[in-house]
Structure 1
Amino acid sequence: MLDNQIEIGGYFEFCLPNYEQFPYPQALNYISARSAFFDLLNQNNIKKIWMPKFICDAMIDPLLILDIEIQYYDINEEFYPVLPNHLKEDEYLLYVNYFGLCTAIQQKLINIYPNDQIIFDHSQAFFVKPFDCFATIYSLRKFLPVAEGGLLISKALTKPNYIARNVEMMIQQYHHCFVRRLSSASEAYDIFKNNEMLLNDCIPKKISGMTKEIMECLNYSSIQMQRLDNFKFLHSQLADINHLNIDIADIESPLTYPLLLKSSISKELIGNNIYTPTYWLDSLQRLDVDSFEYKLVTGITHIVCDQRYSQKQMQFQVDKIKEYFNEHRR
């Protein structure tokens, strides 16, 4: 017996094949990582949490809205958190796998602190599998061709507390993606910034059916492999000028290739149509100017290494970087 609401025939809708390769079928799906974080905190009545100073304000906002006590911590030059030896029973710890470089540190933290008091933020480490901990949070937009999406994997939350979304907003969320595909990134940039602003509301919302279909039609092993290949090539070419110590043997899920110099050269690369991202300028208000985290904001240039590109585009970036480096001798 068919559902009376089913529609048969008429014009074709947006549709993509389902290859059933999505790596986290157990995850709860949200419009963004920050809304997943909000729902986790709210439904578990969390009151105290240790947060890194080096994190975007979007992950601080849920704590402020829910009136949760925040204890900030620094990270050292190995990305290791500067924390007390023990967590109190009512305290939780959130740690970010920065740029996908910090999986080994996560294992150390799991061995030191109670698993059920640790939240791992994998927004920058999509392909790193969840640890046995209180919760793991993922962001889709930094790794996949989607305009929204956050994942939450936690035994402490089994049912999301969504509020409704309208169809117009779901379509608007993808406007910049379509404009860039049909025209250029520069033409779509203002639309992109506006759509990012729409995600600032951290109230839990469900992702759209369009995002779900894109998630299910991707070749994830190919995406991960291309990112790794690009990252390793960049490292082979740039390690000698990079002030950041990178253990390439532990890399599973690179976000970008983080090139640390005395100061960022993003503006120079953007002038050559290399659109390097910046993380996280809004954290500067929490950082000491002499801190390692301050260097991560002001000194790192995030070299693009994602799956859209091959070694040809990696070499183009390397050439531009070395050209600038040789001119200025940093």
Structure 2
Amino acid sequence: MKNVIIDNTQAFFEQPLEHVDTIYSARKFFGVPDGGYLYMDADKQLDLKQDASYYRCDALLKQIDLGSEAAAPLFEENEAYLDRCGLRAMPRLTQRLLMSIDYQHVMTKRNENYLFLRNHLNPYNQLKTDSNDFNGPMCYPFLMDNGEQLKEYLMERRIFVNDYWEEVLERVPTDSFEHRLAKDLVPLPVDQHCSTAEMHIIVRTVLEFLKIKDKS
């Protein structure tokens, strides 16, 4: 298949299709400062200058010690660098970190956390996710009216949720489904480091918010 590239940056554990170039992001799933993979059939390797990542680890270390909110400015600085640095070979430090990961454990834990949230929240989710065809998902996608308010409610209670596809809001009609997904989809975390107790907190917080909305 020519001139087709599959973007699996939000689906790390999805197997690539045969003869189709596919890209993956490691840093969206694991505690690494950078790094991704390109699967392709080409015989010739890309000759890229190798990057260094030691000076981008401060964001990860601060996140561990002080939380995602405190580390957000450092992550934004790193994002700005990665946006402008161009293609580089994965740093040796990142390679070492990725070699130490138990990928089967990560996939299993993400599946468990995803199923936990789905079992508790699916009745309230306007985006039905009944399929069992998933492998280590990046998040549990929860769609509701005024989802941006739920994002704020979660963030105020130190439950960090990402914003995806913000650029879509400027590109598509406001009455389109794509616009609604970018605006109202709440990607609830299912990270492998999230415990069952933390999953309970996420469910309880979402249900609290829904109860408040019902009363208003």
Q: TM-score range by the shorter chain?
A: over 0.9
2:137: which partner in 1?
Answer: 254
2:106: which partner in 1?
Answer: 223
Asked if residue 272 in structure 1 is aligned to residue 163 in structure 2, the reply is: no
Paired-residue identity, %: 27
In structure 2, C-alpha distance between the alignment counterparts of 1:196 and 1:155, rounded to whole Å: 29
1:20: which partner in 2?
Answer: none
1:156: which partner in 2?
Answer: 42
1:325: which partner in 2?
Answer: 210
In structure 2, C-alpha distance between the alignment counterparts of 1:157 and 1:285, rounded to whole Å: 40
C-alpha displacement at 1:117, in angstroms?
A: 4.0
2:180: which partner in 1?
Answer: 295
1:313: which partner in 2?
Answer: 198
Q: Which of the residues 27, 38, 52 maps onto 1:141?
A: 27
Asked if residue 119 in structure 1 is aligned to residue 5 in structure 2, the reply is: yes
| Contact persistence 2:68–2:160 (CA under 8 A) | no
In structure 2, C-alpha distance between the alignment counterparts of 1:299 and 1:269, rounded to whole Å: 14
Corresponding letter in the other structure for 2:191: D
Give the unaligned 5+ runs of structure 1: 1-114
C-alpha displacement at 1:282, in angstroms?
A: 1.4
| Contact persistence 2:108–2:136 (CA under 8 A) | no
Aligned pairs for 1:7-86 within 5 A: none
Larger radius of gyration: 1
The number of residue pairs the alignment matches comes to 213
In structure 2, C-alpha distance between the alignment counterparts of 1:191 and 1:209, rounded to whole Å: 21
Greater helix content: 2
1:184: which partner in 2?
Answer: 67
C-alpha displacement at 1:164, in angstroms?
A: 5.2
C-alpha displacement at 1:182, in angstroms?
A: 3.4
C-alpha displacement at 1:174, in angstroms?
A: 1.2
Distance verdict in 2 for CA 1:246–1:133, change over 3 Å: farther
Give the unaligned 5+ runs of structure 2: none
| Contact persistence 2:110–2:136 (CA under 8 A) | yes
1:286: which partner in 2?
Answer: 171
In structure 1, C-alpha distance between the alignment counterparts of 2:189 and 2:82, rounded to whole Å: 23
C-alpha displacement at 1:192, in angstroms?
A: 1.3
C-alpha displacement at 1:271, in angstroms?
A: 0.3
Corresponding letter in the other structure for 2:167: D
Equivalent residue of 2:29, what SS? coil
C-alpha displacement at 1:191, in angstroms?
A: 1.1
Higher RCO (C-alpha under 8 Å, 6+ residues apart): 1
Q: Which of the residues 115, 119, 129 maps onto 1:236?
A: 119
C-alpha displacement at 1:202, in angstroms?
A: 5.5
Asked if residue 209 in structure 1 is aligned to residue 92 in structure 2, the reply is: yes
TM-score for the superposition, normalised by structure 1:
0.62
C-alpha displacement at 1:143, in angstroms?
A: 0.6
RMSD: 1.7
In structure 2, C-alpha distance between the alignment counterparts of 1:164 and 1:250, rounded to whole Å: 36
